[in-house]
Amino acid sequence: MLRTCSATILAASLWCTMSASQADTVVHYTLDPWHTQVRFTWEHVGFSTPGADFTQVRGTIDGDQEHPEKSKVHVVIPLRSLDTYVPALNEHLLDSGDFFKTKQYPDITFDSTAMTHIDEQARTFDLEGILTVNGISKPVVLHAHANKIGPHPFYNNAPAAGFDATTTLKRSDFGVGAYVPLVSDALKVTITVEAIESKAYAKKMAEETKKKS
């Protein structure tokens, strides 16, 4: 291969999905929004632990096979895709001004800066990056597990990668601190990601659009 997955086998295996004959060492992936989810939960006055989902997650992964530590992840989450499954709570979070400044900052973004703490046997790693919410940018660390790397049967065996991740955020760090401490400052975040090689993903979406037309 262009480079064996040796010293950083977990990170390299995350990206080494192209054939040896291909000269480009960077694999471009697109997140599959149907199978990529961001969820978070919080404690409410000690009585309950409600949760919410972002139902639309867009993004890309640029996986560098020769230098996995240089791989990049970019994610955009439209705030309007927030769903607590309680319409009145959705409205309070998005439109009251107590929490998200939705009109001024309609998207949450994440841009990775490093991949660290790689555990080959456990298939775990930390993905460090900058999270921006309400126009406030802070460093965060996602504790990730690589689920599966390889050909995707629903995309004509195109290269694909999937992982789960968790982190805990202080919402007050991002200007969303209303009602602390009665409502917990800590948000527990869980993420699952399925990413498809970008050309294969675009081709599949074009085919699906054509079928519907």
Does a structural domain hold residue 165?
yes
* Section 99-119 average pLDDT: 95
| 4 is a domain residue | no
Give the residue ranges of DSSP H helices in 40-121: 87-95
Sequence-distant (≥ 6) Cβ neighbours of residue 5 within 8 angstroms: 12, 13, 16
CA distance 71 to 117: 15
Contact present, 134 and 149 (Cβ < 8 Å): no
Q: What is the number of domains present in the chain?
A: 1
CATH of the domain at 66: 2.40.128.110
pLDDT, tens digit, for every residue of 131-165? 999 999 999 999 999 999 899 999 999 999 999 99
Residue 76 lies in a domain: yes
In a domain, 3, yes or no: no
Q: 117 lies in a domain?
A: yes
Residue 80 belongs to a domain:
yes
Asked if the structure places residue 144 within a domain, the reply is yes
Contact 118, 10 (CB under 8 A): yes
Largest Cα separation within the chain, whole Å, is 58
List, for residues 7-61, the tens digit of each pLDDT value: 344 454 454 444 333 446 889 999 999 999 999 999 999 999 999 999 999 999 9
Please check the confidence at residue 2 and state whether its pLDDT lies above 50: no
Domain that holds residue 42: 9-212
79, part of any domain: yes
